[in-house]
Chains A and B, each alone.
Chain A
Amino acid sequence: MQPPRLSLRDCLAIGLGGMLGSLLRSWIGTGFEGSFPIATLLVNILGTAALGILHASRHRLDPGGRYLYMVGFCGSFTTVSLFSLETLSLLREGHLAPALVHLGLPVLVSLLLVIWIITKVDPRPGKDAS
């Protein structure tokens, strides 16, 4: 099966969303200082909750909007590479408990938030496999 191609418009939307998401993430990152990387934890939870809301109301978005807000913005605002590297750094410095909190907390909170948002908007399971 040939996957659908991305049009120039789609690519512009993804690129613009990616640019804005990355800038906002980095800007938030400059606002927090300290040994525990709270900025990454915060953007990941916020961005995942936003994606959950957008997914739950995706029928109101046109494809361009989905590429701009969901794939571009939320996709780039949240990040796994820095999250993983920071967890590893905490571990290598011997901060075992902070490393576990940094790894587990965003995963747990984001999962619960997305489940809650989706259940609230569309309580029928199995209907949102898009």
Chain B
Amino acid sequence: MSLLTAIAIGLGGAVGALARALVGRLLSGPFPIATLLVNVLGCFLLAAFTATLPADSTFTHALLGSGFCGAFTTFSTFILETVLLFRSGQPRRAVAYLFLTLFLCSLASWLGISLVT
């Protein structure tokens, strides 16, 4: 990993994490809609970037893909929220959140590839 690539990933990662936290601030409620939204949106964006960006543009790939989309979407919060929903006596919401995220994220990735190619 070159220094330039590392800078791009670090910068994209910082901005992606901040954008995710901001969405979380704006959309708080009993159902973790903020994490669902960032994950679905991030899946679409990464797929679209991967399909459109030329293979030799390492810097842009690192900045937008590994950096921004990688940090904007989050697996750990998604799983923790599923467990917390379950433990707060909402097993149906937990199961719905789990499968809705997996389904919509797969769909978003597919749409991202399909729409731009």
Residues of A within 8 A of B (CB): 3-6, 10-11, 14-23, 25-27, 29-30, 44, 47-48, 50-52, 55, 67, 71-72, 74-85, 87-88, 103, 106-107, 110-111, 114-115, 118, 125-126, 128-130
Contacts and interface: CB of A to CB of B under 8 A. Distances in A.
Interface in B57-106: 62, 65-67, 69-80, 82-84, 86-89, 98, 101-102, 105-106
Interface of B: 1, 6, 9-18, 20-22, 24-26, 28, 39, 42-43, 45-47, 50, 62, 65-67, 69-80, 82-84, 86-89, 98, 101-102, 105-106, 108-110, 113
Given A67-B21, A82-B46, A125-B87, A88 B106 contact: yes
Contact of A76 (B11, B13, B46): B13
B74 A75 contact: yes
B113 A88 contact: yes
7 contacts: A26-B9, A26-B62, A51-B76, A76-B16, A76-B70, A111-B83, A114-B80
Given A21-B17, A80-B78, A81-B46, 11 more contacts: A3-B28, A14-B21, A21-B13, A72-B17, A76-B13, A76-B74, A77-B76, A79-B70, A80-B101, A81-B109, A110-B79
Contact of A18 (B16, B77, B79): B16
Given A76-B17, A129-B84, A44 B76 contact: yes
Contacts of B42: 80-81
B73 A79 contact: yes
B76 A129 contact: no
